[in-house]
Structure 1
Amino acid sequence: MSQAKTLTSTELEQVLNYIAAQSYSQRNRVMLLTGLWSGMRVGEISSLTISDVMNPDRSVKAEVRLTAEQTKGRQPRTVFLPQKLRDELAAYMALRTDAKPEHPLFVTAGRKRFSANVMAQHFHYLFKKAGIAGASSHSMRRSFITNLAAKGIGVRVLASLAGHRSIAVTQRYIDVNDEMKRNAVELI
C-alpha cells in the first residue's frame, strides 16, 4: 500500500479554497490545520474535547495533553500547538459559544462527535472533491513531519512530536523532494 501524499503549499491552498466555499467551512479548516500543524492522527483529533484545548478562561492552550486512551500507541503524550493554530482554534471556538468543556471539539452536521473512521472518510472526500489525488487524513501528518524535516528539525525531535517510539518509523514519514535536495546542496 502506498503512503499518503505529502501536501505541497499549492495543494494546501487548493483544499483550503475548496473548504472555504462549502458548508461548515470554519470547522473543516480548523480540523485540517490541526492535523497539518500539530501532527496529530485523525483518531487523536476526533477524540479531542473542548477542555483538551481550551483553558477555563476560554483561551487556547499551548500544549494539549493526550491521554493513553486518545493515542494510537496507548502512551500519553503532549502535543505542542503553534501560535497560528491557537489563533485558528480561538476563531473557531468563538463560534461555539454554547459548548461545554466536556463536549467534543469537532462535531458532525448532526452535532455528534466524529469517530476516527468518519473523520478519515470526511478528509478523503474533502481532498477528492478539492482535486488532490492521493491525499488522505494521513497526508496532514506526513506533511507536518516532512515540513519540519525540511526546516532542519532532527529526527529525534520529530519522533517525539509524532509520538513515535522508533526513529525508523518517523524516517518513513519524511518525503524527500527536489526542493529539499536543492537546499541541502546549497549548504556546501
Structure 2
Amino acid sequence: MKQAQTLSDKDVKRVLAYCGTRRHSMRDRSIIQTSILAGLRAKELAALCVGDVYDDKGQVRDQFIISGDQTKGGCARRVYVSRKLRRVLSEYQSVIRTRCEHEPLFRTQMNTAFSANTMCQLFLNIYKQCGLSDASSHSGRRTFITRLAEQGVNVRVLAELAGHRHISTTQRYIDVNDQQMSRAVELV
C-alpha cells in the first residue's frame, strides 16, 4: 500500500496559506498544524474535546492524554505540546472560548463533531486543492515522525510519541530523502 506523502516546509506553507482563504480558516489551520506538530491521526483529532487540550482557565495544557477510545490501537497515550503547537492552540482558543470542556475541539461546518471519516475527507479536500495528490490525513503524522527522526530523535522515543507498540511500525513512517543521505555521509 502506498504511504501518505511527507510534507516539505514548502508544502506546509502552501497548505496553511490555502487554509487562510477558507471559510473556517482558523479551524482548518489548527487541524493541519496539530496533525503536523503532534502527529495525531484523523480519528484522534476528531475525538478531541476542549477539556483535553485546555485547562479550566482556558490555557493550553503542556501535555494531555488521549484515551484508548480516541486512539487507533485502543491504548491511551500522552501528547506533548511544543511551543509551536501551544501558539497555534492559543490562537485557536478564540474560536472555542464559549465551548464547554466536554464539547468537540474541532467542529464541522454543520456545528457537529467530526467523525474520523469526515476528518479524513477534510484533509483530502485541503491537500487536493493545494495540488498534493499523494497527501492524506496521515501526511501530518508521517511529517511529524520524519522531522523528529531527521533531528536524531531515537526511534524508541518516536514510537512512544506516535503511540506505536513496535518500533518497526514507526520505522515505516520515516521518510528518507537525498538531503538526509548527503548529510549522513558527511558524518564519516
TM-score computed with the length of structure 2 as normaliser: 0.98
1:64: which partner in 2? Answer: 64
Residue 46 (structure 2) pairs with residue 46 (structure 1): yes
In 2, distance between residues paired with 1:69 and 1:95?
26
> Is the 8 Å Cα contact of residues 124 and 137 (structure 2) preserved in structure 1?
yes
In 2, distance between residues paired with 1:176 and 1:102?
40
In 1, distance between residues paired with 2:96 and 2:145?
30
Q: Percent identity?
A: 43
In 2, distance between residues paired with 1:146 and 1:97?
33
Residues 121-171 of structure 1: CA deviation (Å, up to 9, x unaligned)? 110010001111200000000010001001100110100100000000000
Task: Tell me which amino acid in the other structure corresponds to 2:168.
Answer: A
1:182: how far off?
1.5
1:87: how far off?
1.1
1:55: which partner in 2? Answer: 55
1:94: how far off?
1.4
In 2, distance between residues paired with 1:174 and 1:130?
23
1:73: which partner in 2? Answer: 73
1:186: how far off?
1.8
Task: Tell me which amino acid in the other structure corresponds to 1:123.
Answer: F
Residues 40-64 of structure 1: CA deviation (Å, up to 9, x unaligned)? 1110111000000000011000111
2:108: which partner in 1? Answer: 108
Q: How many residues align?
A: 188
Detail structure 1 runs of 4+ shifted over 3 Å in the superposition.
Answer: none
Matches within 5 A, 1:7-156: 7-156=7-156
What secondary structure does 2:46 align onto? helix
Say what the alpha-carbon RMSD is for the aligned residues: 0.8
In 2, distance between residues paired with 1:101 and 1:145?
29
In 2, distance between residues paired with 1:115 and 1:149?
30
Residues 19-49 of structure 1: CA deviation (Å, up to 9, x unaligned)? 1111100000000000100011110111000
Unmatched 5+ residue regions in structure 1?
none
2:184: which partner in 1? Answer: 184
Residues 65-111 of structure 1: CA deviation (Å, up to 9, x unaligned)? 01111111111110111011111111111122211111100001111
In 2, distance between residues paired with 1:101 and 1:76?
19
> Is the 8 Å Cα contact of residues 96 and 105 (structure 2) preserved in structure 1?
no
1:183: how far off?
1.5
Unmatched 5+ residue regions in structure 2?
none
TM-score computed with the length of structure 1 as normaliser: 0.98
Task: Tell me which amino acid in the other structure corresponds to 1:59.
Answer: Q
